[in-house]
Structure 1
Amino acid sequence: MKSHRLHWLMALWAVSIATQLLLPTTMFFIQASVVIIILLLMTLFKSSVNFLIFLSTILVYGFCLTVYSMNHQIFDAGQYELILAHLLLTASILLNWLIVHELKTLNQKIQEMEVRLNQLEKIDNETKALSFPEFLERGLLIETGMRRRGEKGYLLYFTMTDIVPLTVKSSLRQEFIKACLHTVRAGYDLVTSPTDEEILIFLQATDEAGRDIVIHRIEEAMKQNVNCISMPFSIHSWEVENLEEKLDELMNRKGA
Structure 2
Amino acid sequence: MKRKNMATMATCIALVGAVAVGGTLALLSTGPKTLNNTFTVGSDFDDTDFLLKENNATQQFISTDDYNYGSYIKGSDVIVGNEAGSTGVRYDNIVADTTLDKNPWFELDKDANDKATIPDAWIVAKIDGLTELNGKGITIDENSESTGWKVVTVSTNPKTQKKTYTLGADVNSTNLVDGAYFVYTTKLDADSETNYKTNPLFTKLYADSNVESLNTEFDLTVTGVAVQALKGDTVMDNDTLQAVMEALPAGFINAK
More strand by share: 2
More helix by share: 1
Q: Answer whether TM exceeds 0.5 for this pair.
A: no
**Greater RCO, CA 8 A, separation 6+:** 2
Q: When the two structures are superposed, what TM-score results if normalisation uses the length of structure 1? A: 0.19
Q: When the two structures are superposed, what TM-score results if normalisation uses the length of structure 2? A: 0.19
